[in-house]
Amino acid sequence: MSKSYKIAAIPGDGIGREVVPEGMRVIEAAARRHGFSVAWQEFDWSCERYARTGRMMPDDGMATLAKFDSIYLGAVGYPGVPDHVSLWGLLIPIRRGFRQYINLRPVRLLAGIDSPLKNRKPGEIDFYVVRENNEGEYSEIGGRLYKGTELEMAMQQAVFTKTGTDRVMRYAFALAMKRKKHVSSATKSNGIIHSMPFWDERFAAIAKEYPDVKADQYHIDILTAHFVRHPDWFDVVVGSNLFGDILSDLGPAVVGSIGIAPGGNINPERECPSMFEPVHGSAPDIAGKGVANPIGQIWSGAMMLDHLGEHEAAAAIERAIERVLAGAGPRTPDLGGNAGTKDLGQAILDALG
Ligand code: NAI
Ligand code: MG
């Protein structure tokens, strides 16, 4: 009996529905070639469902997902439904409920992609952003007072726990041990005087556990400048929920299209399913036209297989993506071509060999 994985597919909204099917067929082909199979179950959880039922997912949604080995998500969000509804109604409950406290996003300049930075060659930019995904600045603690009056006020509390901070930093250092042995921390301990000095203290303490790894830190403002001017400096960059969110969009932007950037929401202990999704959103401006770049979704599928232990299948998908981009194959408009989503998906399928 070959191994079979149960995967929950949530295409979501907009181009999520166009790129998830491409990811699914590439994953299936890789599975066939590497001797395992995938049992999919698709869920229509989305803003469209919210408009119909008032809920992004059903009440027992988390219990349903808990039975799967992994979750493969497209994107959620659509005009007409406020973004905080789609985020707090689906993505954040899954990330927190399943303790997916690592948001992992590779940033790699691939051959055949024009970086918006001058004179950058493939190989020069190759790092990971490790974003804390469960606490920090994205907290529900706070409130509004005196609404509608001159005294109106809003307060929002950031939350940094030792457990939450240490575990994301250990993950970053362990990842660096398998790579170039260098971790950079995003901080702002000059301006934010309680949580960020704590973050720095914990970074220094965890760095001591990994004496072979070079550890440095930058304030977030200059760090964004270094991402643009010196992206070759970085190996693993660790940041809080907010700083990591910003850096993990900036990273993909300096290596080309947001359409190719993959991501994983990971529960490293594997007590709960992890969730893999591209960095981009539902792109309402191009949705329905069949021109979205499916590579971010397909690459996220490779990250999912890698997490499930199917390292060879994952590497084969990454090689197929690299081969298609480096060659003369079809390109979607964001990469300067005029091919459609399905053409690019098919080319990657063919390149799997
Ligand atoms: P977005 O990533 O959807 O789009 C930004 C720009 O990049 C657009 O011009 C879009 O056409 C382009 N783009 C994105 N993905 C592409 C692809 N695969 N191929 C070619 N071009 C691509 O971000 P935006 O516009 O800020 O958000 C749109 C909606 O998506 C919002 O409702 C937002 O809340 C949601 N969103 C959802 C995310 C998720 O589900 N994880 C992440 C980010 C945004
Ligand atoms: Mg973001």
**Mean pLDDT rounded to a whole number for the chain:** 95
pLDDT per position as a tens digit, 170-217: 999 999 999 999 999 999 999 999 999 999 999 999 999 999 999 999
pLDDT attached to residue 116: 86
d(C-alpha 189, C-alpha 187), whole Å: 6
Helix axes 16-33, 341-351, angle to 10 degrees: 10
pLDDT attached to residue 341: 98
- Residue 351 CA to its chain's centroid (Å): 24
Which atom of ligand 1 approaches the CA of 47 most closely? 32
For the chain, report the end-to-end CA distance as a whole number of angstroms: 24
The predicted model scores a pTM of 0.94
d(C-alpha 260, C-alpha 47), whole Å: 24
Q: Which percentage of the chain shows pLDDT scores above 70? A: 100
Tokens read off for 170? 């250990």
Q: Which residues, by Cβ under 5 Å, contact ligand 2, an ion?
A: 245
pLDDT attached to residue 1: 59
Q: Is the pLDDT of residue 82 over 80?
A: yes
Distance 281 CA to ligand 2 centre (A): 8
Tokens read off for 101? 């406290």
Ligand 1 pocket test, candidate residues 10, 78, 103, 280, most atoms within 8 A of CB: 280
Distance 196 CA to ligand 2 centre (A): 21
- Averaged pLDDT, 4-30: 98
d(C-alpha 176, C-alpha 170), whole Å: 10
Which residue has its alpha carbon closest to ligand 1 atom 42? 281
Question: H helices of 178-289, where?
Answer: 195-209, 220-229, 241-254
238 burial level (CB within 10 Å; 0-12, 13-18, 19+)? buried
d(C-alpha 276, C-alpha 312), whole Å: 18
Tokens read off for 160? 């940094």
Question: Nearest ligand to the C-alpha of residue 79?
Answer: 1
Report residue 353's pLDDT band, with 50, 70 and 90 as the boundaries: confident
Question: Nearest ligand to the C-alpha of residue 47?
Answer: 1
List the single range of 117-131, 142-156, 305-319 with lowest mean pLDDT.
Answer: 117-131
Ligand 1 pocket test, candidate residues 133, 282, 331, most atoms within 8 A of CB: 282
Distance 149 CA to ligand 1 centre (A): 35
pLDDT per position as a tens digit, 84-120: 899 889 998 999 999 999 999 999 999 988 888 888 8
pLDDT per position as a tens digit, 270-293: 999 999 999 999 999 999 999 999
DSSP conformation letters of 43-101: ---SHHHHHHHS-SS-TTHHHHHTTSSEEEEEE---TTS-HHHHIIIIIHHHHHHTT--
Which atom of ligand 1 approaches the CA of 77 most closely? 32
Question: Nearest ligand to the C-alpha of residue 251?
Answer: 2
Q: Which percentage of the chain shows pLDDT scores above 90? A: 88
pLDDT attached to residue 121: 87
Distance 188 CA to ligand 1 centre (A): 28
pLDDT per position as a tens digit, 225-271: 999 999 999 999 999 999 999 998 899 989 987 899 999 999 999 99
Distance 279 CA to ligand 2 centre (A): 7
Helix or strand holding residue 284 (H, E): none
Which residue has its alpha carbon closest to ligand 1 atom 10? 283
pLDDT per position as a tens digit, 333-345: 999 999 999 999 9
Which residue has its alpha carbon closest to ligand 1 atom 37? 281
